Amino acid sequence: MLRGSARALDRFVLLGHRAAALQAVRPRLRARAAGRVVDRLLARDALSVAGVRDLIPERAARRLFDRLVALGAVRELTGRPTARLYGL
């Protein structure tokens, strides 16, 4: 039980660092609804391009997620060329 709780604590700290990195790149994003997309990323485990379609067009969302990956703020979780999921 102690090892499991230590691993959970380590993962919690790692997620905190990744969330801070995502917050740090927020001012560098120029997309119209980038702030709301970042908020949604922080609130959910994983997010797809379709998950932000109500905020920005699909093409702009793809470019925004590609930029976030390039900046190291989020990771692409699936490893697939289509239907990608992004998260911390």
Q: What are phi and psi of 44, to 5 degrees?
A: -120, 160
Q: H or E element: which one contains 87?
A: strand 86-87
Cβ partners under 8 Å of residue 17, min gap 6: none
Quote the pLDDT of residue 88: 87
Grouped pLDDT means (10 residues each) for the chain, 88 residues: 87 88 88 89 91 91 92 90 88
Quote the pLDDT of residue 81: 83
Cβ partners under 8 Å of residue 24, min gap 6: 73
Quote the pLDDT of residue 15: 86
Quote the pLDDT of residue 70: 93
Quote the pLDDT of residue 36: 92
